[in-house]
Amino acid sequence: MSKILINETQLREWIEAAGEMKAQFGAERALAYLIGERFYSIVSMLRSCRQLIRAIDEESKKPDYHSVGVTTYRGRKLVTDLRETYRREVFIITWTEELLIKFAALIGEAFEPYEIRTYLESSPLLGAMAHICSEEEYEFLVSRGIVEHSLDSEIEDAMIFGDMRRYFGIS
């Protein structure tokens, strides 16, 4: 798992940064940073963990399943224990779900409900590049292949966005 939080106060620091952005650039821009980038990345990671769990579950149903695998890469043997991976991912999922509930509550304290609803109903672009670029700049990056944009990425983002809305009580 990549490290989500640098320290115990990371969520509050993101909220404070968004407050400063709101004062300078407005609520939409601040929420693009807070929800469209930060919250999005955590929900995306959670979905990836769940996908890995499902893949391990499917793999374990195969008759030739072995929970420990060895792969040779550049002359080195890499050992993978899917049981340990499964346990770690379950822990990450539990921890991340609690983190998202806390994060959504903190966002709800810092922004008015109508601001959050307006942002989420605006069908915003998601991810770090989407919040720092104009739509034209973002489309340029997509056209050059710098930002991935495919049917698969659109579907995945739609699923992530649906999950994000649920954390804010918007279905």
pLDDT tens digits, one per residue of 85-95? 999 999 999 99
Three-state DSSP state, 131:
helix
**Distance (Å, whole) CA 91 – CA 96:** 8
| Residues 129, 145 contacting (CB under 8 angstroms) | no
Q: Which amino acid is at 124?
A: P
Q: In this model, does residue 126 exceed pLDDT 90?
A: no
What the block records as the tokens of 34 is 């807070």
In sequence order, what DSSP letters do the residues of 109-131 get, joined into one string? Answer: HHS-HHHHHHHHHT----SHHHH
Whether pLDDT at 1 is above 70:
no
pLDDT the model gives residue 88? 93
